Amino acid sequence: MNPIKSTLFASILFIGASKCFAQKTDSIPGMKRDSIARRTVAFAADKFAVARPLNIEFTHAAPYNYSSKLEGTPLPNGRINTFTQARIGANVNFIKRKTWMLGVTAGYRYTKAQADNMPASGGLTFRTDENFSYLFSSLNFTYFSSLFKKRMIYSSSFLVDGSEKHFERIKGIFTGTMVLKANQRTKMTAGVLVNIDQSAQSPIIPTFSYEHKFNNGLIADIVLPRSIYLRKYMFGSGRASIGTELDRTSFYVYDIDGTAQRYEYRQLDINSGLTYEHAIGKYFVLSAKTGMKYSPSGRLFKKEESFASPVLEISPDPTFFFNVGISFNPFTVLTKKGRSN
């Protein structure tokens, strides 16, 4: 799974659950036993495309320059001429009960990169053209409870990933969160996420979410550490957003030093700009994003080591990007009916 999203996926269900806890289950006429799970899934699918039954995206970045270091030694600057990604993901919750859910997530991401590199000794520039495939799957369990008279949501995920060549890692994620406030205008949660992964940069991550609907129709939507957005519904079935979102590029690399050593490349991406989403019919959502992508650092490291021990460090310049996608999302809140649920 995309590393940022795999780390956060286990938390999206309990973050989203705050909506369904705005009212007591027993006080809502005709509410089904699986209402908590259903509302949680709907809220999570709105926040995270990876939580939708089916999601397809295409991303392209404009050409940009980069600097790099090999084991701490500076290398000549290079240029990325083409950087394109295509991804597809599916998420199914096959068991939903009043107090717990069980589901699976799977996906594939294709990355194409073409770079111009200058040899350390000078001379002619040489071009490399590479393609990378990244596959993931996870088994996800979510449990709803209470603590100190506050609603609690616990979740765990068992994840595996790799490439078209090899199975690579097994990871575990455990989360717990408390719903601090939940009413028709404001929802707020706080919690902690534990990432069981030897390559993880931060094994323990605090989480926080805040959503507030202003009288003028604007919505503040904050999910830390992932995104900060200001949103506005428009055109009946559309929504525009401005803000910042974290993502991360990741793939495994082989056969680069003449040995059987396996490497992983990770790059944190900060995408800032505009997003527009529009519901097509009852179940499909089209999306378009554009803005600037800033990547503080990209690192290549041995698979058995961690992000903190890189062999190669890359510092890309900021660049323009655009993203288009389509999702199958029967839980969409973009329609008037969805917003009223």
Q: Is the N-terminal amide bond of 296 cis, ω within 30° of 0?
A: no
Neighbours of 127 (CB within 10 A): 10
Higher pLDDT residue, 327 or 119?
Answer: 327
Q: Where are the domains of the chain?
A: 3-340
Question: Where residue 340 falls among pLDDT bands split at 50, 70, 90?
Answer: low
> According to the model, what pLDDT value does residue 36 have?
63
Dihedral Cα 254, 124, 112, 203, nearest 10 deg: 50
Question: Where residue 287 falls among pLDDT bands split at 50, 70, 90?
Answer: very high
Report the 3 state secondary structure along 228-270.
Answer: EEEEEEECCCEEEEEEEEEEEEEEEECCCCCCCCCEEEEEEEE
> According to the model, what pLDDT value does residue 4 have?
44
Q: Is the pLDDT of residue 37 over 90?
A: no
> According to the model, what pLDDT value does residue 339 have?
57
Are the beta carbons of 65 and 94 closer than 8 angstroms? no
d(CA 108, CA 59): 14
Dump pLDDT digits (tens) for 296-321: 989 999 998 888 889 999 999 999 99
Mean pLDDT of 114-141: 77
**Predicted TM-score (pTM) above 0.85:** no
Are the beta carbons of 247 and 282 closer than 8 angstroms? no
Question: Where residue 207 falls among pLDDT bands split at 50, 70, 90?
Answer: very high
Lowest mean pLDDT among 30-39, 56-65, 266-275: 30-39
> According to the model, what pLDDT value does residue 222 have?
94
How many residues in the chain? 341
Residue that the structure tokens 């700009």 belong to? 273
Are the beta carbons of 61 and 320 closer than 8 angstroms? yes
- Residues facing residue 24 across a β-bridge: none
Are the beta carbons of 50 and 11 closer than 8 angstroms? no
Q: 267: closest CA among 104, 123, 80, 38?
A: 80
> According to the model, what pLDDT value does residue 108 have?
95
Phi, psi of 199 (to 5 degrees): -95, 0
Encoded tokens for 58: 């295409």
Lowest mean pLDDT among 117-121, 185-189, 191-195, 291-295: 117-121
d(CA 46, CA 134): 24
Mean pLDDT of 217-238: 93
> According to the model, what pLDDT value does residue 30 have?
38
Question: Where residue 127 falls among pLDDT bands split at 50, 70, 90?
Answer: low
What is the DSSP-derived secondary structure letter of residue 318?
P
Percent of the chain with pLDDT strictly greater than 70: 83
Q: Is the pLDDT of residue 209 over 70?
A: yes
d(CA 300, CA 267): 9
| DSSP symbols for 11-72 | HHHHHHGGGGGGS-GGGSTT--TTHHHHHHHHHHHHH-GGGSSEEEEEEEE--EEEEEEETT
Q: Is the pLDDT of residue 19 over 70?
A: no
Residue that the structure tokens 């295509």 belong to? 86
> According to the model, what pLDDT value does residue 76 have?
86
Q: Is the pLDDT of residue 237 over 50?
A: yes
Lowest mean pLDDT among 30-34, 43-47, 262-266: 30-34
Higher pLDDT residue, 128 or 143?
Answer: 143
> According to the model, what pLDDT value does residue 124 have?
46
Q: In b/e form, how buried is each residue of 54-89, taking b as 16+ CB within 10 angstroms?
A: bbebebebeebebebeeeeeebeebbbeebebebeb
| DSSP symbols for 75-132 | EEEEEEEEEEEEEEEEEEEEEE-SSEEEEEEEEEEEEEEEEEE--TT-SS-EEEEEEE
> According to the model, what pLDDT value does residue 31 have?
39
Are the beta carbons of 183 and 20 closer than 8 angstroms? no
d(CA 59, CA 204): 30
Rounded to the nearest integer, the mean pLDDT of the chain is 84
Q: Is the pLDDT of residue 294 over 60?
A: yes
d(CA 299, CA 291): 24
